[in-house]
Amino acid sequence: MTLLTRRSFVHLALTTAAAAAFPEVATAKESPDWRLNALNRDRYLKLIRPQSGEQAVFCYWRKDKGWDMDGYRQACWLLRDVQYNAQVQMDPGLLDTLFILQIWLATYGQNHEIRVNSGYRTAKHNSRLENAAKNSMHLYGKAADIRIPGVSPKLLSDMGKMLGLGGVGLYEKQGFIHVDRGSVRSWKG
């Protein structure tokens, strides 16, 4: 008799929810991990940048063609350092992290419009921020501070940790979470 552990229960719940929302995940044989199967499709993001008044829906990856460079450039632009008007090539894994988070929210009927507080930061910008890490992942285009209206930062943080998306920092009083492409870890800011 096999006991259902918390980890296997969460995996079962994630797999079932993803299969219901995305039929191609249910039939995919490539991987038992629904996140990998979900990435085996066109990848669209909807990002809103309140600081600059910009928003866009774009495809940055096409299942049959690979990188959609127009979409990728849009992502890099929307995730730029708005204060210093500087951009870099954003880490593709960060885009996938945001994509997985959006799929998860959409699966459960939640608002999934990601509002970006901060993406890439110049060293000058980062040094002027109180409590910013000196070697922040923002400096390398590997992090974003985000919020989603109607979804509590605590819930977003818990989801990020449960989905194993990398570094997830909860900044509940400020109303956002930090996600990055570093090792899987979490903290409260």
Q: Is the pLDDT of residue 66 over 50?
A: yes
Q: Is the pLDDT of residue 21 over 50?
A: no
Q: Which amino acid is at 126?
A: N
Report the CATH number that the domain containing residue 94 is assigned in CATH: 3.30.1380.10
Structure confidence at residue 32 (pLDDT):
63
DSSP per-residue letters across 6-32: HHHHHHHHHHHHHHHH-HHHHH--S-S
Percent of the chain whose predicted confidence (pLDDT) is above 90: 56
Mean pLDDT of the chain: 83
Rounded Cα distance between 93 and 68, Å, is 15
Q: Please report whether residue 145 resides in a domain.
A: yes
Residue linked to tokens 């204060």: 83
Q: Is the pLDDT of residue 102 over 60?
A: yes
Q: Is the pLDDT of residue 14 over 50?
A: no
Strands (E), the chain: 43-49, 54-62, 66-67, 114-118, 143-147, 167-171, 176-180, 185-188
Number of domains in the chain: 1
pLDDT in tens, 104-113: 888 888 888 9
- Determine the structural domain holding residue 61 and report its residue range: 32-188
Q: Is the pLDDT of residue 69 over 70?
A: yes
* 130 backbone dihedrals φ, ψ, rounded to 5°: -70, 135
Q: Please report whether residue 95 resides in a domain.
A: yes
Q: Is the pLDDT of residue 65 over 90?
A: yes
Indicate whether this model's pTM tops 0.85.
Answer: no
Buried b vs exposed e over 43-61: b needs ≥16 C-beta within 10 Å? bebebbbeeeeeeeebbbb
DSSP-derived secondary structure letter, 64: T
Q: Please report whether residue 119 resides in a domain.
A: yes
Q: Please report whether residue 126 resides in a domain.
A: yes
